[in-house]
Structure 1
Amino acid sequence: MSGNNARACVILFFVSQLLSGCGALLSGSVETDLTALEPGNYTLDPHHTTVLFKVSHLGVSQFVGRFNRARAELDYRPDDSAASAIHASVNIDSLDVNRPDFAETLKSCDWLCAERYPEARFESKGRANQSGNRLIFTGELLFRGVRQPAELGVTINGATTNRLNGDYILGFEARLHFKRSAFAMDKYIPAVGDNVAVEIYAEFIRR
């Protein structure tokens, strides 16, 4: 190995060690005991949020899309997690299916009717059912101007402090299922499935 190559290898080694050390400094300890998490009001971090939906297509595949803009607030009570509350909404016009022309078709009133009903909202009502770090929030889903009972299943992965900015963050995954026919959107059933699955992967920031 030439002298230049040796020096390059040494530099790369020290750079990798430095970057590894920085990563360790940014990663604080993660608390997974729900009773030990910080209480209070949490707001969705839009930079660390993904909202997906899935629906059967022709009985052989799942059509997957996403919404790029969402808002949510979580009132978390560690002394009684089941008494926590959540309110969430997605901006229908932020639909993303990797094809802008098809997205515009889906936003028409044959489907999502985004211009008339720009948001879909879930609001929890009453106590949640709790099993370990999983909470089942019962509430109402408002979609296309129709309000229906719904359940939001939430898994709280834990919480930590982002050492880069000092934010206390809570890791969160959620699932919601509904029948689109219950919201006056029954076009092409069963070729396009009636059952819609919504998946949310997010971080909340304590205010």
Structure 2
Amino acid sequence: MNLKTLTLGLTLASVATFSVAKPVAYQIDPTHTATVFTWNHFGFSTPSANFSDIQGTINVDNAKPANSSVNVTIPLSSLNTNVKVLDEHLLKADFFDAEKYPNITFKSTKVQALAQNKYKITGDLTIKNVTKPVVLDAVLNKQAVHPMSKAQTIGFNATTSFDRSAFGVGAYVPNVGDKITVNITTEASVPTAETTKDAAKK
């Protein structure tokens, strides 16, 4: 076998491998993921609150970003406004009704790659069993081996906004603003043998 034939063979093999490659599943790291949302309060201030303990998977296809997807679950029990009485009120029936609807979910329906590591992620947001489409404007911060965990890791920031009344969470509108602005930051990693072992122990 001459060098030209060998080179052609390796090229074809790499193309074949590339063509059957599947999206890589990154598991969201809840310790480095936060969803912070803000609203207008009678025109005087812009309070904020956040959710933590966020779970989910980001499937990433670098070759064909349109094949990528996001699936996230946000437990309402993780809500934090830094005001205990407000946390308790927001979980009641006139707002999130967390006892009946304990989670918020987001499932992407379309991923579009834009310029300079920017993406537009369209998906279904479900709050109180009401599902509406929203669009996340996302930026890929980094994709590399994490220096501490040694796992393949990816990091994004994203923003979106929507009217809370559309999801049945419209108490006190318009005095308390209807529009909710959301800022998201997340790290997600490909599970390693070690992390899988740790998860199995829990």
Tell me whether the two structures share a fold, i.e. TM-score over 0.5: yes
Higher percent of residues as strand: 1
Residue equivalent to 1:146: 130
From 30, 44, 68, the equivalent of 1:84 is 68
Matching residue of 2:147: 163
The runs of 5 or more residues in structure 2 that have no matched partner are 1-21, 192-202
1:126 is paired with a residue whose SS is strand
Match of 2:82, as an amino acid? N
Structure 1 residue 176: Cα displacement: 2.1
Aligned residue number for residue 182 of structure 2: 198
Among 119, 124, 148, the residue aligned to 2:108: 124
2:123, 2:145 → 1: CA distance? 30
Q: Quick check: 1:84–1:128 contact (8 Å CA) kept in 2?
A: no
Aligned partners of 2:111 and 2:119 also within 8 Å: no
Alignment root-mean-square deviation, CA: 1.7
For residue 165 of structure 1, report the CA deviation from its aligned partner: 2.6
Give the alignment partner of residue 108 of structure 1, picking from 60, 73, 92.
Answer: 92
How many percent of aligned residue pairs carry the same amino acid? 29
Can you list the C-alpha shifts for 1:120-143, whole angstroms capped at 9, x where unaligned?
111111342533311111121111
Deviation at 1:83, TM superposition (A): 2.5
Distance in 1 (CA, whole Å) between partners of 2:44 and 2:151 is 44
Normalized against structure 2, the TM-score is what?
Answer: 0.79
Structure 1: segments with no counterpart, 5+ residues: 1-37
Q: Secondary structure at 2:166's aligned position in 1? A: helix
Alignment partners' CA distance in 2, 1:102 and 1:42: 34
1:186 is aligned to 2:170: yes
Q: How many residues of Structure 1 are paired with residues of Structure 2 in the alignment?
A: 170
Q: Say which structure, 1 or 2, has more relative contact order (CA 8 Å, 6+ apart).
A: 1
1:66-109: per-residue Cα shift (whole Å, max 9, x none)? 11221121110010123311111210111111122221111101
CA shift, 1:181, in A, is 0.9
Q: Partners of 2:186 and 2:111 in 1: how far apart?
A: 22
Residue number among 50, 54, 62 corresponding to 1:66 in the alignment: 50
Q: Is the 8 A contact 2:91 2:98 kept in 1?
A: yes
Q: Residue 109 of structure 1 aligns to which amino acid in structure 2?
A: A
Q: Which residue of 2 aligns with 1:75?
A: 59
TM-score by length of 1: 0.77
Q: 2:28 aligns with which of 44, 58, 66?
A: 44
